[in-house]
Amino acid sequence: MTQFYDARGNIYGVISPQALSDAGIALPASATECASSRQSWSEAAIKLCCDWPEDQRPANSKSHRSDGLLIGPFQTSPPFDVLIVNTDGTLAERSGNGLTIFSQALTEQGLMPEEGALLRVHHDKGEAVKTSVKPAAVEGVQGFWLDLGQPDFGPRAVAAQNVESVDFNGHDVSQVKPLATLDPAWSHSQFVRIGNPHCVTLLDDRAALPSNQQMRESPLNEGLTAIAYAMPTGAGDPCPAGVNLQWAVLESPQKILARVFERGEGPTASSGTSASAVACAAWRVGWVAAGEVQVVMPGGTAPILLEAAGAELVRVRLFGAARLMG
């Protein structure tokens, strides 16, 4: 019923609205109505599709068998509507790896046109977030370019509160006190919105990068959950609606090392929109130039294309590929 796909170590289940309804989880007919009523069905959908089968959870694994659930399509021709459900039952506005996986599923279902399609992610925080997807091959790998549009920067872009302005590499960034309290090396953060909110913490030393294992363990997990998650799971500080967290260090020209702690999910092996936010933040503080940027995460490397016009970043594109898991 649920098919699982892997994109750079990020795993999502994919299921159609009809299949969920057939399994006893009644959904409204439209993605818009599903999003507005998600509290009545999302936790049950996660339990059905993403919980580990009894006695099959591997040692030291995450609490769910995937990083989320993709529900769609709601149509048989583009544009395609989709819901991205985090494992805590909340809805995400965008996921680069998730949309790559959804595009691969559409391709295998014979629904993705050769020229690509428009994907519309419905959520309960505002209007649907649109992403143009185009099939492509990069270095012999068949996948998709996702056009993520133009990023926005700074505390206002993500509705951050109670942050201080500080200097990093001659550029104005933010200090998020809860992050700096956890580790003084985490004192310089760049907020980025690229369809969803991100807080990229910029580091001078790769030794300050947290490992995914560290982020899963106490007390760091509790501290990061309070920052990343909205209430009641977290504290919604600095962003009342929650924020995705990344840590980044410049490895070499146009190459960034990164770690990710997602709002609604926790530490993940990779994230497409997080990688894109990292590349944007790196451009903002002068670490990288426009053009191709490689963002290296534990789950794999994301190629990002940054397009600038003068002193403004005008477009971000992400390449990704996905495979159906056996």
Mean pLDDT on 169-196: 97
Count of domains forming the chain:
2
Q: Using alpha carbons, select from 231, 232, 230 the residue that is nearest to residue 242.
A: 230
User: What tokens appear for 129 in the block?
Assistant: 């977030």
Q: Tell me, what CATH number does 72's domain have?
A: 3.10.310
Q: How far apart are CA 87 and CA 82, in angstroms?
A: 16
Question: Residue 208: its pLDDT value, please?
Answer: 98
The rounded percent of the chain whose pLDDT value lies above 70 is 100
Q: Are residues 159 and 142 in the same domain?
A: no
Q: Are residues 14 and 142 in the same domain?
A: yes
Q: Work out whether the CA dihedral 49, 320, 313, 205 comes out positive or negative.
A: positive
How many residues make up the chain in this entry? 326
Which of 114, 133, 149 is the last residue in one of the domains? Answer: 149
Which of 149, 174, 202 is the last residue in one of the domains? Answer: 149
Q: How far apart are CA 249 and CA 269, in angstroms?
A: 17
Amino acid, res. 19: A
Residue with tokens 């769910």: 64
Classify residue 272 by its DSSP letter.
H
Q: Using alpha carbons, select from 289, 320, 276, 317 the residue that is nearest to residue 149.
A: 317
Question: Residue 326: its pLDDT value, please?
Answer: 80
pLDDT of 209-255, one tens digit each?
999 999 999 999 999 999 999 999 999 999 999 999 999 999 999 99
Q: Work out whether the CA dihedral 202, 206, 212, 217 comes out positive or negative.
A: negative
Q: Are residues 165 and 187 in the same domain?
A: yes
For residue 114, name the pLDDT band (cuts at 50, 70, 90). Answer: very high
Question: Residue 35: its pLDDT value, please?
Answer: 98
Q: What domain range is 90 assigned to?
A: 3-149
pLDDT of 78-97, one tens digit each?
999 999 999 999 999 999 99
Q: What pTM does this model have?
A: 0.95
